[in-house]
Amino acid sequence: MSTAGTQAPLTSPPATVRIIASPQSWVEGEAVRQLEAVARLPGMRHAVGLPDLHPGKGAPVGAAFTSEGILYPYLVGSDIGCGMGLWDVGMLARKAKAERWAAKLDVEGTWSGDAEGFLAEEGVKASGFEAALGTVGGGNHFAEVQRVDAVHDAEGFAALGLAADRLLLLVHSGSRGLGEAILRAHVDRHAAGGLLEDSDDARAYLTRHDHAVAWARANRALVARRVLDGIGAPARRVLDVCHNSVTPRRDAGGTRWLHRKGAAPSDEGPVVIPGSRGALSYLVVPLGDGTGSAYSLAHGAGRKWTRTAARERMKERFTAESLTRTPFKSHVVCENKDLLFEEAPPAYKPIDRVVTDLVEAGLVRVVATLAPVLTYKTRSREE
């Protein structure tokens, strides 16, 4: 990778590398190699792999990096602003009608409402990608109606205004085509190179990046509204956190650039760490000062198999129809059969091990576990 905005290369001492995972957790060797490669980039200070660490496209997912004097858009990736939002649904869990909702819920296509007006309510400017606003997207994105499985920290749970007998809604989505366009514009000019923090190119990228982060948050809010309209329930947003971003952290030592790629923040309050669609999600409270983990946590279970491997293996063992139900008796809406196989629960690491690693590292306290009721992926037969 090269640097943009200067004639001379940026040099620095080697970055520290840390992987937060117990011996019981499997971390693919290629993910470790990618983490170490990123640590050798100019200006890099820290490279931290979380328990969900797995290989990505040139850089690992489930990782956080801090640099000095330079930032790397390529580490953030194309889905700038991707994250998780949690809503407290005004409906008792015992009144859930998962089978009926699975048959009729549809969050595909352009929203019929006033997209620019909705963005204005959220304090976000239009981007030109409003046709995709309020859509989940492909890959591992989802909208999931959940019930409370167990409360482990009653005080922390009550502090969030939650009730054990009410439904919740978890939305995982990002900036759709907007983030991809921003990264493509960068790559067209700089390939995988970094940007010096005081350069015009860095300032221009950060302006577009911050817009995409805000747009992605609004997108999750509109996905939630469409799902809630579909099930006929009101809701209150409890939290919304981003796990693909680059942000400045300023202290007495100066400014460092914190890159998160599939890494939830540990400095913004409670977060939800979801498992696969056939596993529990964990509502957790971050602990400690965050310095040893680059102020980050695992953002999910992390893939164990590539999409191609998952597709091949799962087609040998299951029918598509069997994968639309889970051990929790929840329903899965995913009419793209390839995606259904790619996102099957065995393709992911065990979420309980990922969270246990975080607990044992002193990074989180579990507040509650949440079980799936209805997981919405897509009505489209094509990604």
Binding site as annotated, residues: 140-144, 172, 243-244, 281, 299-302, 377
Per annotation, catalytic residue among 209, 211, 299, 331: 299
Binding site as annotated, residues for Mn(2+): 141, 172, 243
Instruction: Please state the three-class secondary structure of the chain as a single string.
Output: CCEECCCCCCCCCCCEEEECCCCCCCCCHHHHHHHHHHHCCCCEEEEEEEEEEECCCCCCEEEEEEECCEECHHHHCCCCCCEEEEEEEEEEHHHCCHHHHHHHCCCCCCCCCCHHHHHHHCCCCCCCCHHHCCCCCCCCCEEEEEEEEEECCHHHHHHCCCCCCEEEEEEEECCCHHHHHHHHHHHHHHCCCEEECCCHHHHHHHHHHHHHHHHHHHHHHHHHHHHHHHHCCCEEEEEEEECEEEEEEEECCEEEEEEEECEEECCCCCEEECCCCCCCEEEEEECCCCHHHCCEEECCCCECCCHHHHHHHHHHHCCCHHHHECCCCCEEEECCHHHHHHCCHHHECCHHHHHHHHHHCCCEEEEEEEEEEEEEEECCCCC
Spatial distance between the Cα atoms of 160 and 172, rounded to a whole number of angstroms: 20
| Amino acid (1-letter code) at residue 357 | D
Spatial distance between the Cα atoms of 363 and 154, rounded to a whole number of angstroms: 19
299 catalytically annotated: yes
Q: Which amino acids are annotated catalytic?
A: 299
